[in-house]
Structure 1
Amino acid sequence: MENGISIACGPNVDDYHWMEVLMREAGPFFDGISLHHYALASYWEDKRPAIGFPENEWFSLIESALKMDELISKHSTIMDQYDPGKRIGLIVDEWGSWLAVEPHTNPGFLYQQNTIRDAIVASLTLNIFHRHADRIHMANIAQMVNVLQAMVLTKNEKMIKTPTYHVFDLYKNHMEAQRVDTSSILSKHTDFTVSKKENLLTISLCNYDLAAADDVIFDIRDSEIVSISAESLIGTAMDQHNSFDLPDNLTKQLFNDYILNNQNELVVTIPPMSVISLYVTLG
């Protein structure tokens, strides 16, 4: 396509045979291939509530979101056979939580609430994309306004920011940065990503345990830490969310539960049900 790119219709979630045939037969003719994956709390025909859900559905939705890593890894392995130079991008053009619509809304409009659980889904998914940045050329959350895992919800002249909006805000410093390779031993419910842009190191973490905080120690070598600032999104209930009556019930806050030792060891205590970003200026 002159002055543009061509994107092929990709596989239905884990249809690896589709990816194999398309890459083998038509790989030279397109620049990207699409992939969809939605996080579900149950199975497709049984959309579960966005608020007022039981504890097991906190974890079932998150486990469904984490399947994104397996999908990208397996599809990328196939793509690597036919495109080792990674010219073709994997385009995750629809992702996010798909839950039950809110009562008394048009079911065709897919209007759902957005909680700290959705914020965790966003954080974990963005971390996965960062780990596969060599193959993921583009990734779009499915909808922005009033549909599925939206950034904002509107009602007449009113608009509220969802917890998912605040996660994207917490992650904005990763844009145009270089992912930093790390080695780590983490607890089961903790995840993070690190990137560097000039002398700014951005560390974004999440803890999806429902009760326990977690300490993570970063050993930052070959550089001296000059300054640190941090922001957080911390839930106090599994379904904490914003509403038109309480638009700032869950919003971004300053965070200071970290310790710096010897100018290069950073110890961060991550609360349960939280997403944290630290902005570390290096000397």
Structure 2
Amino acid sequence: MPHASMSLNPAFTVSPVHRRTFGSFVEHLGRCVYTGIHDPSHPTADEDGFRKDVIQLVQDLGVTTVRYPGGNFVSGYRWEDGIGPVEDRPARLDLAWHSTEPNTVGVDEFMRWCRKAGVEPMMAVNLGTRGVQEALDVLEYCNVESGTAWSDLRRANGTAEPHGVRMWCLGNEMDGPWQIGHKTADEYGRLAAETARAMRMVQPDLELVACGSSSSAMPTFGAWESTVLTEAYEFVDYVSAHAYYFEEDGDLASFLASAMNMDAFIDDVVATADAVRAARKLTKRINISFDEWNVWYQHAAPSVPPKDSWPVAPVLLEDHYNVADAVVVGNLLISLLRHSDRVHAASLAQLVNVIAPIMTEPGGRIWRQTTFHPFALTSRYAVGEVLHTELRTPTHETAKFGETPLVDGVATHDPESGAVAVFAVNRSLTEDMTLEVDLRAFEGLRVEEALTLANPDAYARATVDDDETLAPRPNTSAVLEGGTGRITLPPVSWTVLRLVRD
């Protein structure tokens, strides 16, 4: 049986595990908000109309932050439409997704939902059709305690305490020609700098995210980051990165290696940011908020309703994920973790119904897609510090990436408990792989648990009637002998191996 090996040592670390790595994304798109998190007619709905069964699965998923309200939606959004008495709120045309936005859920409702779900809100401001003043207004509404027009209006609307939002995105994908209010890098960089400067006059300790490229395939990639950061470097903390992956033309082998693209994307953004830092002779480092990432079959599901229709909460982008998709999601998390020295936040896009790990029926059932499991288990068990991982593995040729490692993995170590977690994927389409893990630098470990997500049919999907069959199962091959852990990884699989101290 082919084998790979991994060497670990608690003295060689990459970075602490950032809990914000396990963020997600709620946009006013399709059924993410309405009949997703908010469904007043549902049997489990609470007094605010939020589905308690969704909140429970969000907590089971291990989500830590949620980005809101977009996404493309935010570039045409008037946030003040969504405050005050619901019956007085205007319905608006949402140009981004060709829908009607009723504004039933707005800032205050979302913040209440965050408190119930136990997640940190991450807000985006509209720098497409709006600008500095509107960003200051929503910041004042959310974060100033009292004594001003917007803060006192929040209190009058029923929320006495400030929402206390720390992390703010300065627009969304402003490099994209599809974006309402699309701008050149020079235009956006200046606007982002001025908005950030003004927001810090209100609250200096905000954490601000400048828009990076929507994709590493954008013609302006690299040059966009350089121009924007040259303008805004002193005033922001993060630059965003967005990436979506899907299987093309039946090329499963290349699809399973999607994390190689994410690795290169991150490395290029880091290099560009550091080049600006050096040229500007600055000291602080700009880190990455990878605040949109997922598997998304962009041509498989409708992206907007018909041109003569403006429905409320239409069925859009409801991808139905299979085992291979879940393996890729698990591998993308491996990439994010191994870059934890510079990727300090990330958001799986999106949370419910729209390219999501959680699916709902309006007024009805709820179920977990295959992609739910690697995210939930990684969030649960990636604790402490990310370890530097020396991985030796066989390779194979892929059409998209050339010579590609068959096994990929990362490990974390919790210095307090001594626990080690190894996360690994087998990208082979046909062969089992043995993974050997050198653990001699750790004392007193034993195998606590090993779980593997795999299926003889890599295209098998969970359903509303059965979301258990494709959940990860115990991997009984895991052993620890003489300081070496061994486990068999089936083809097209994602695995977590947990070792704890006796």
Class of the TM-score when normalised by the shorter of the 2 chains: 0.7 to 0.9
1:115–1:163 Cα contact (<8 Å) kept: yes
| Cα 1:108–1:63 shift into 2, 3 Å | farther
* Alpha-carbon distance between aligned partners in 1 of 2:238 and 2:208, rounded to the nearest angstrom: 7
Equivalent of 1:12 in 214, 217, 239: 214
Instruction: Name the structure 2 match of 1:88.
Output: 286
* Alpha-carbon distance between aligned partners in 1 of 2:453 and 2:225, rounded to the nearest angstrom: 37
Q: Does 1:170 align with 2:390?
A: no
Instruction: Name the structure 1 match of 2:452.
Output: 232
Q: What is the TM-score when the length of structure 2 is the normalising length? A: 0.50
Structure with higher strand content: 1
1:257–1:269 Cα contact (<8 Å) kept: yes
Q: Does 1:190 align with 2:407?
A: yes
Instruction: Name the structure 2 match of 1:257.
Output: 477
Map 1:59-208 → 2, pairs under 5 A: 59-83=253-277, 87-99=285-297, 100-101=299-300, 109-148=316-355, 150-156=356-362, 157-187=364-394, 188-197=405-414, 198=416, 199-208=418-427
Structure 1, unmatched stretches of 5+, are 43-53
Instruction: Name the structure 2 match of 1:266.
Output: 485
* Alpha-carbon distance between aligned partners in 1 of 2:296 and 2:342, rounded to the nearest angstrom: 25
Equivalent of 1:40 in 246, 253, 273: 246
Deviation track 1:113-167 (CA, whole Å, cap 9, x = no partner) reads 011111111111111111111111111111011112x111112311111111111
- How many residue pairs match? The answer is 268
Provide the alpha-carbon RMSD of the alignment: 2.2
Higher RCO (CA 8 Å, separation ≥ 6 residues): 2
Deviation track 1:6-33 (CA, whole Å, cap 9, x = no partner) reads 2111123230011112222321111111
| Cα 1:135–1:202 shift into 2, 3 Å | same
Deviation track 1:48-70 (CA, whole Å, cap 9, x = no partner) reads xxxxxx7x332343344531111
Instruction: Name the structure 2 match of 1:45.
Output: none
How far residue 252 of structure 1 moved from its aligned partner, in angstroms, is 2.0
| Cα 1:134–1:174 shift into 2, 3 Å | farther
Instruction: Name the structure 1 match of 2:183.
Output: none
* Alpha-carbon distance between aligned partners in 2 of 1:116 and 1:193, rounded to the nearest angstrom: 20
1:114–1:241 Cα contact (<8 Å) kept: yes
Q: What is the TM-score when the length of structure 1 is the normalising length? A: 0.87
* Alpha-carbon distance between aligned partners in 2 of 1:272 and 1:173, rounded to the nearest angstrom: 24
The 10-residue stretch of structure 1 (172-181 or 19-28) with the greater mean CA deviation from structure 2 = 172-181
SS of 2:392 mapped into structure 1: coil
Structure 2, unmatched stretches of 5+, are 1-199, 306-313, 395-404
Structure 1 segments, 4+ long, off by >6 Å, are 105-108
SS of 1:41 mapped into structure 2: coil
* Alpha-carbon distance between aligned partners in 2 of 1:207 and 1:244, rounded to the nearest angstrom: 27
The 10-residue stretch of structure 1 (194-203 or 226-235) with the greater mean CA deviation from structure 2 = 226-235
Aligned-partner residue type, residue 243 of structure 1: T
